[in-house]
Amino acid sequence: MAVDGDRTPSDSPCPGNVLADGSIRSFPPAHVQVDRYSALISGGIISALLCTIAILVDAFGELPPGYSWAPYLPLGLLLLFFALRAFWWPQLSHRHKSWSFSELGIHLTQGVIWRTTTSVPRARVQHTDVGQGPLQRRFGIATLSVHTAGSDQAQVDLSGLLYDDAIAVRDFLILKGPTHSTSNLDLSSGPADIAHVAHPAPEATIEQPSEPAPDE
């Protein structure tokens, strides 16, 4: 399990120019752990509420004789579903999820039953965000959100990237944007400097009419 700085060699972060080679990459194993813990937390809360309701129905409800187990049947089925969701599904979903990044854009493939491939051309990238929840911070991963223009899907989320890789991809998209030149820019103040670059217009040359020579 890769946690924060304790990463395996296959999970080591790469700079953006190395990541942008177009090769297909799987998400780090830490993504499976985060998905598993998230399912356990949400499933535990819902199961606790339903268990309380089942106990109240059993204690105060009027059930037919011999059917005192009836309120616990849907609870048992739900617990089985949450167990499969927490311990079996994250690993299966992880095996069918991959991403790639190149000079042309980002590609995300995911889905176990219905496979979906999402491609984001770099020319349509407006801006990017990198976010982390509490569990993601614990395991050193993040969600890279790519906001696009001119498409029905205005935002694509790559959840489960290593935090350093998400930052590297974000910085690469900022520095290598197709419509901005960064060769003579100071980027120390952030990407806002790129969005407001103005090139001076060439100075116009105005020719003054020559005065006629005076008659002698």
Residue 79 lies in a domain: yes
Residue 83 lies in a domain: yes
- What pTM value is reported for the model? 0.66
Place of tokens 């106990």: 55
Residue 68 lies in a domain: yes
Residue 62 lies in a domain: yes
| Helix (H), strand (E) at residue 96 | none
Residue 70 lies in a domain: yes
Higher pLDDT, 88 or 179: 88
Q: What is the pLDDT of residues 98-133, one digit of tens each?
A: 999 988 889 999 999 999 999 888 888 888 999 999
Residue 152 lies in a domain: no
Instruction: Decide if pLDDT at 8 tops 60.
Output: no
CA–CA distances in Å: residue 123 to residues 119, 146, 157, 178:
12, 12, 17, 6
pLDDT mean over 64-81? 83
DSSP, res 61: S
Q: Print the domain residue range for 82.
A: 40-91
Indicate the residue type of 62: E
How many domains are there within the chain?
1
Q: What is the pLDDT of residues 169-206, one digit of tens each?
A: 998 887 765 444 333 333 333 333 333 333 344 444 44
The first and second tokens of residue 145, run together, are 């959100």
Cβ neighbours of 59 (radius 10 Å): 9
Residue 45 lies in a domain: yes
pLDDT mean over 2-23? 56
Residue 179 lies in a domain: no
Sequence-distant (≥ 6) Cβ neighbours of residue 179 within 8 angstroms: 123
User: Do the Cβ atoms of 158 and 143 come closer than 8 Å?
Assistant: yes
